[in-house]
Structure 1
Amino acid sequence: MYLTLILLPLYGSITASFFGFLLGSIGASFVTTFCIGLTFMFSIFAFYEVSLAGSPCFVQLFSWFDSELFSFSWGFQFDSLTSIMLIVVSFISFLVHFYSTGYMSHDPHLPRFMSYLSLFTFFMLILVTADNFIQMFVGWEGVGLCSYLLINFWFTRIQANKAAIKAMIINRIGDFGLALGIFCIFVTFGAVDYSTVFALVPYYQNSNIVFFNISWSVLDLIGILLFIGAMGKSAQMGLHTWLPDAMEGPTPVSALIHAATMVTAGIFLISRCSYLFEYAPKALSVVCVIGAMTSFFAASTGLLQNDMKRVIAYSTCSQLGYMVFACGLSNYHVGVFHLANHAFFKALLFLGAGCVIHAVGDEQDMRKMGGLYKLLPFTYGMMLIGSLSLMGMPFLTGFYSKDVILEVAFGKYSDIGHFAYFFGSCAAFLTAFYSVRLLYLTFLSKPNGYRVNTLNVHESSFKMGLPLFVLVLPSIFIGYLTKDMIIGLGSGFWQGSIYILPNNFNIIDSEHIPQLFKLLPVGLSIFGGLSSFYFYTYKSNYLFKLKTSSIGLKFYTFFNRKWFFDKIYNEIVGQFLLNSSYHLTYKQIDRGLIESLGPFGLTSVVSYLGFVFRILQTGFFYHYTLVMVTSLITFLAFFRLVHILEVYDLIYVLDLRLGALFLLAMFFIIYSQNQKKIK
């Protein structure tokens, strides 16, 4: 069952890809959706057997690399952390597949699209079920590849091309850090499988390693390098710029990336490596600070975005910040709990946004919508519940994980904890504000769109409406139903798949924090939602005057332009690299050094030597004999000279490195003189 669970999405992807022209759109959609549906059913059985019945499963298939120093096998690890990820990934993926059959029904390339979705799911399953870092890295790179294919699905659009390339490059930066972390793990522990590495971690608590000529604590260095990889996938501040641009892909892609796959990979990696991070306190501090800053930064940026999907994308980035700083506070189980809860209402929001965009003629600017609550009452109700759950309103799913994160942050009673609590609370206010802003501009304001779009507005088909109804149920109830099982005090749900040092376990302390600090995040969320509704309903003129004032315009530009991250990367970092690549790599090395040594250097020398050797070919035997005897005498004399120098400790005279440096210096002098003559 366990192997079937993993391979079914791959089977569906291969079938739709290679035989889509025979099956057609309907056949390819049925095969892929049916395979993902079976995967979800098997995931439920695996969840019951592994997590509820307490029977973790480890499967070893066959050896992959086998050498004296480096050997590991294809293996799969099914524990509580894996089982909860399987449920989330397969459930959301199944609903996205089903939704796509309606949303993409007009697209002639639907089989290719369904194939990419199934392949995306397969690599995510490889990632979460791996029992070693190398196999996990295969899934890690696989989801990056599939995100490129899906974002660039409509490859005739230049913006889709740019967004896909951007996602690939930004993720390569994070993946480079992850690869260095895996190398460092192997150098330190001599193994890459989880069980061996995590068992050895306590013995290296005081060990150091030299990296970039600086002495580091080896566990802190490994933790920071692994977190750089998580930053790329989970779009943390600095490596987040690909996430909003990923909206160029079809809406089902956005739902799958933001809810179940890709962005959750970084949170999973940190939680899986909890055994390592617990002995790396400095790395945990970095994780917590970056996560807290990301939650506030993304919430403030989403506040003034006008594209509906980008607002929801920045909300994803903000919620990922909550999960990351929860892990940075050693509350990995709370972070994973919020990951699972967030998947349901975030998929609901994206699929609801897809219904709205589909209804208004592919318009995504909220300023050109309005008045849709009467025309799309079902979609409005679904998005209202999803937004309230995102805001953390009491008794909805988001409330039971988001507020616990802020409580454990304050209950840490440390500077890092209070830092995270402050920024998380501010982000809660901003999240409520822009969530109500999205609902108001889209559904409640006066109609601002084109008349022809408004006249053609209609509710979505059954294939698009049913996933919304299914998702709204866990968005309301799943948090309440599972909170005691997943994060309840004394729960045996995790069974050692997540490790927390006794000194870092502060879920008990969070129960006894002052009542004011427990209620503050909820109060800020309610106040943010009500203030947003009040200002946009009754004080829109005041908001316009504030935006057009000298100071307000600067703030609006700053937040609307995403804190100028893209401008900095494009105009400073990108241009510097392009200019240096052109002037140094291309002009000096390619056209200069290589051509001087190649076509205009060594080639002429070789031609001259060939001319000389042709002259020496006289055809007389005694000439050849003279050359051989002279060469032999020179050869023997050279070795005799070396022996004499060794006896008298003068061998350094023949140091070939000095000769190489001399020849290189002479070459550059001649090359610079030639360049001056050319100019």
Structure 2
Amino acid sequence: MQTLVTILVFAPLVGALIAGLFGRRIGDVASQAVTTGLLILACALSWYTFSQWTWGGLEAFTVRLLPFIHIGDFQANWSIRIDALSATMLIVVTTVSALVHIYSWGYMAEDDSKPRFFAYLSLFTFAMLSLVTAADFMQLFFGWEGVGLASYLLIGFWFKKPSASAAAIKAFVVNRVGDFGFALGIMTTFWAFGSIQFAEIFPQIAAHAGKTWVFAGHTFPLMDIACFLLFIGAMGKSAQFFLHTWLPDAMEGPTPVSALIHAATMVTAGVYMLCLLSPMFEYAPIAKNIVTVIGAVTALFAATVGLTQNDIKRVIAYSTCSQLGYMFFAAGVGAYQAAMFHLFTHAFFKALLFLGAGSVIHGMHHEQDMRKYGALAKLLPITFIAMTIGTIAITGLGIPPLELGFAGFYSKDTIIEAAYAAGQHNPIGMFAWVIGVLVAGLTSFYSWRLAFFTFNGKARWGHDDHHAHAHDAHGHDAHADETHDEPLPDDDHGHGHDHKPHESPWVMLFPLVVLSIGAVAAGFVFTGYFVGHHQEEFWRGAIYNAPTNHVLHEAHGVAEWVKYSPLIATILGLLIAAYVYLLKGDERLGLKLAERKGPLYVFFYNKWFFDELYDATFVRLAKFLGDLFWKGGDQKIIDGLGPDGVSAVSYEVGKRTGKLQTGYLYHYAFVMLLGVAGLLTYALFKFH
């Protein structure tokens, strides 16, 4: 088994190296085949590992591969840790990644850099696998930074396009802000426990629960400080409130990248870390309350912004941000199992929605504005069915008395019920429950708005004289000068076309079918293992609940009206969306409401003005300080007084001294006479 999991983790790295280093020699098809084949191998081994854990009696183990850093008490090793958490993440990461690889065969068919793209995808997957199998903080940080690097490469894949490069840099920089807190959290943990090995830290936590840290004359609870700093890292990676601004801009990457980053991998790393570190967070009540509040506010913020967006990928991106808020406040109230369950189900229906959106964009000749869609259900039947399944799954429609529904029904309802149960002891939990129910209604509204805009109503994709252009398969202007030919792939906005929408090829539809099965069945099949009667034997200590934490048990016993509340909110959201965008006709009511540009609409449409606020403060301040230190400090002071100043003085001295070289003998004789006179004068005064 140890050999199998080692192959599982390193197979994507081998594929990335082959495609990245030898892609030009072996060609596009061979590069795609090698990377995709190795990902399918990793996926098969992941499912085998998960099945052995769930039904085969496999026990937790750690494979130590190599020593990494050994300095005094700081011992870091390359290891592979297998337990319930890592086994779950393995199938989530490799399943979505393998399907994205297959999907990309069709979506990236016209791209001229396929080996590089598939190498980046596989590199991203390896970094994520090294993260979720880490046995210590050092390897966790390595994987953490690895997915940050790979996401930078993928988001900026079309690097000739300025907006793509800017989005990649933004994602990288914002994540570095969070990673700074993460690094401080690791340092604090090492300082407190003298180790970065999870197996050594977790048994000591109860003994350190009451310890404090005196800093700047103030006393802080040690565990709360460590957990809060670690949570800052999770905020950046999982795009939580304040550090969320990079996520929507990441849509500049190809749609398969959006599915990979936003569905199951990078953005869920923060949730995974919180659940992994549950032994620490259980003894950090202040940090847990902060996690709950930030998660709830993120869920609300992203849902309100998603109401007004017109770019199909941005709507789904904000949906991801909102669903991550659910996972975080679930972990904040102590329902770590429910957070992981929603992470698991969310991977299937969110990847389905993103790849479905990519199929729509492909069929619409790379048009992303939903206002230019409509009446696509008959023209894209398989995509329509798949995205409808995904929409039902994310909105959580189901039948509570029968406990029957699609994937999101089981996981999201469990989170909302857990928040209500926690609210009986902590008002922060009740705050999260109110937000959770409200966001359930908003999620239903914007999800069905997307579905109705895209597949129903009248066709709005006919000829548009004002915007009509001839575009190639990646949205390039076919008449543009070749020297200005920038990659304008699936995010080329605002153009019309004369082509009839068409269904995607089967290489793109097959992943939709597989993900549809997961979106339908993942909740029903696994609810008993994640949050139900078999949770104890499934988790087997991978998630720790303090003796006082009974929130998940209490969640199953909440009143019936609490269980029905998210369903009622979901149905209301569906009915309002149907009335506004379907029954009344979107051209008569929905678009008119948008055209009025009321203050609330403008506030939501502009994403609560966070980008403008950050630009006016941090960005401009950073540029001002950069210019100050560069032009004032570096150029004028350091260079001016240093090498540049010395060279300038040497030049001037040499230039003026050189004028003494006149070539006339009597000038030299005069200088010699002055020298002799000077020496005699010095001697007279010296020996007087």
Mark yes or no: TM-score above 0.5: yes
Equivalences for residues 511-522 of structure 1 within 5 A: 511-522=556-567
Query: Secondary structure of 1:100's partner?
Result: helix
Tell me the equivalent position of 1:531. Answer: 576
Secondary structure class of the residue paired with 1:493: helix
Equivalent of 1:439, from 426, 445, 451?
451
| Counterpart mapping for 1:160-559 below 5 A | 160-211=164-215, 214-394=218-398, 395-412=405-422, 413=424, 414-451=426-463, 453=497, 455-489=499-533, 491=535, 492-539=537-584, 540=586, 541-549=588-596, 553-559=598-604
Query: Aligned equivalents of 2:162 and 2:651: distance in 1?
Result: 49
Give the whole-Å Cα distance in 2 for the aligned partners of 1:149 and 1:157.
13
Distance 2:206 2:538 in 1: 24
**Paired residues of 1:50 and 1:78 also in contact (CA < 8 A):** no
Q: Assess if the C-alpha contact under 8 Å between 2:581 and 2:589 holds in 1.
A: no
1:547-586 to 2 correspondences below 5 Å: 547-549=594-596, 553-583=598-628, 585-586=629-630
| SS of 1:504 mapped into structure 2 | coil
Tell me the CA shift for residue 15 of structure 1. 1.0
Instruction: Kindly state the Cα deviation for residue 573 of structure 1 after the two structures are TM-superposed.
Output: 2.0
Structure 1 position 478, deviation (Å)? 1.2
> Percent identity at matched positions?
46
Per-residue deviation, residues 130-189 of structure 1 (Å, max 9, x unmatched): 100001111100000000111111111111001000000000001111001111111111
Report the CA distance between 1:64 and its aligned residue: 1.6
1:176-220 alpha-carbon deviations (Å, 9 max, x no partner): 110011111111111101011111111211212244664321110
8 Å Cα contact 2:259-2:354 kept in structure 1: yes
Distance 1:470 1:454, change over 3 A: farther
Q: Does 1:17 align with 2:29?
A: no
Report how far residue 65 of structure 1 moved.
1.6
Offset of 1:106 from its aligned partner?
A: 1.1
Match of 1:617 in 2: none
Q: Distance in 2 between matches of 1:155 and 1:501?
A: 49
Aligned to 1:663: none
Give the direction of change, closer, same or farther, for the CA distance of 1:96–1:212 in structure 2 (3 Å limit): farther
d(CA) in 1 for partners of 2:134 and 2:650? 55
Match of 1:102 in 2: 106
Q: CA deviation at 1:504?
A: 1.6
1:137 to 138, 141, 153: 141
1:656-671 to 2 correspondences below 5 Å:
none
Contact 2:528-2:534 within 8 A present in 1 as well = no
TM-score (norm. length: structure 2): 0.85
1:440 CA displacement: 1.1
The amino acid of 1:234's aligned partner reads: S
The verdict on how the C-alpha distance between 1:600 and 1:122 changes in structure 2, with shifts beyond 3 A counting, is closer
* Residue 35 of structure 1, aligned match among 23, 33, 38: 38
Alignment partners' CA distance in 2, 1:218 and 1:605: 56
SS of residue matched to 2:353 = helix
Q: Deviations over 1:499-540 (max 9, x none)?
A: 011212212222222211210111100110111111122444
CA contact (8 A) 2:190 2:196 kept: yes
Structure 1 Cα separation of the partners of residues 647 and 135 of structure 2: 54
2:148 & 2:137 partners in 1: Cα distance? 16
Superposed displacement of residue 71, structure 1: 2.3
Match for residue 10 of structure 2? 7
Higher helix share: 1
SS class of match (1:508): helix
Q: Distance in 2 between matches of 1:22 and 1:246?
A: 31
Q: TM-score under structure 1 normalisation?
A: 0.87
Task: Give the aligned residue type for 1:439.
Answer: A
CA distance in 2, matches of 1:70, 1:213: 29
CA distance in 2, matches of 1:603, 1:537: 75
Distance in 1, matches of 2:263 and 2:35, equals 19
Paired with 2:523 and 2:106, the residues of 1 have a C-alpha distance of 29
C-alpha distance after superposition, 1:59-115 (max 9, x if no partner): 112322222232232222100100000011111111110010111111111111111
Unaligned runs of 5+ in 2: 399-404, 464-495, 655-688
- 1:462, distance to aligned residue in structure 2 (A): 1.1
Aligned-partner residue type, residue 437 of structure 2? S
Distance 1:370 1:566 in 2: 31
Q: CA deviation at 1:577?
A: 2.0
Q: Which runs of 5+ in 1 are unaligned?
A: 611-679
Deviation at 1:51, TM superposition (A): 3.7
Q: Tell me which of 634, 637, 647 is aligned to 1:593.
A: 637
Q: Secondary structure at the match of 2:81?
A: strand
CA contact (8 A) 1:51 1:83 kept: no
Q: Which amino acid aligns with 1:196?
A: E
Q: Contact between 1:50 and 1:57, CA under 8 Å: does it hold in 2? A: no
* Deviating more after overlay: 440-449 vs 42-51: 42-51
- Secondary structure of 2:27's aligned partner: helix
Shift of 1:49: 2.8
Question: Aligned to 2:539, what secondary structure does the other structure show?
Answer: coil
Paired residues of 1:76 and 1:130 also in contact (CA < 8 A):
yes
